């Protein structure tokens, strides 16, 4: 496993994405939902990997929810960077935003546009359980 570090711009949120895959092998997804399009988001996840999110000041962590409200989109209130999304159910799974990683350039696959607007809630939760990765959020 290699850990790819990253975080928001001001340092309030730090990321550690652990994966056994080479970054060049990991599928990069460009979600076409209205939120991700506005951010130009490119996301990755390794279901066999892990994401660790460390937050210094929880009051400066924003959890944005919209649509089916089945995930939290994590943004830093201080610097505005969108870093990751986490499912809102018990067994949390996450994706990490490539641009928030320090070695973003190594995730070299051409982003695949993905559109999940037609999904129902159960379908969406099942897809995330299968394709997103385990996550741990800690507060310093």
Residue from 4, 6, 8, 101 in contact with Zn ion (CB under 5 A): 8
C-beta neighbour count of 134 within 10 angstroms: 17
Are the C-beta atoms of residues 50 and 133 closer than 8 Å to each other?
yes
Residue 72 binds to Zn ion (criterion: CB under 5 A): no
The rounded distance, in Å, linking the Cα atoms of 114 and 99 is 17
Regarding 12 and contact with Zn ion (CB under 5 A), the answer is: yes
Smallest distance from the beta carbon of 64 to Zn ion, in angstroms?
14
Asked if 19 is part of the footprint of Zn ion (rule: CB under 5 A), the reply reads: no
Q: What is the dihedral of CA 136, 61, 82, 117, to 10 degrees?
A: 80
Name the token pair of 73. Answer: 């989109």
Residue 78 engages Zn ion in binding (rule: CB under 5 A)? yes
> Count of residues binding Zn ion (CB under 5 A)?
6
Compute the least distance from the CB of residue 27 to Zn ion, in Å.
27
Extract the tokens encoding 85: 């999304």
Which residue sits closest to Zn ion, CB atoms considered? 76
Instruction: Give the binding site for Zn ion (CB under 5 A).
Output: 8, 10, 12, 76, 78-79
């Amino acid at each position: 496993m290699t850990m790819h570090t990253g975080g928001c711009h001001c340092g309030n949120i730090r990321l550690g994405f652990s994966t056994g895959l080479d970054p060049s092998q990991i599928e990069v997804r460009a979600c076409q939902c209205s939120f991700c399009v506005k951010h130009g988001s490119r996301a990755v996840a390794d279901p066999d990997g892990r994401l660790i999110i460390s937050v210094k000041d929880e009051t400066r962590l924003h959890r944005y929810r919209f649509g089916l409200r089945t995930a939290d989109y994590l943004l830093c209130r201080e610097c505005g960077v969108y870093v990751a999304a986490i499912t809102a159910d018990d067994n949390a799974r996450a994706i990490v935003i490539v641009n928030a990683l320090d070695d973003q350039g190594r995730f070299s696959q051409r982003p695949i546009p993905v559109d999940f607007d037609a999904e129902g809630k159960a379908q969406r939760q099942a897809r995330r359980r299968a394709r997103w990765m385990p996550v741990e959020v800690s507060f310093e």
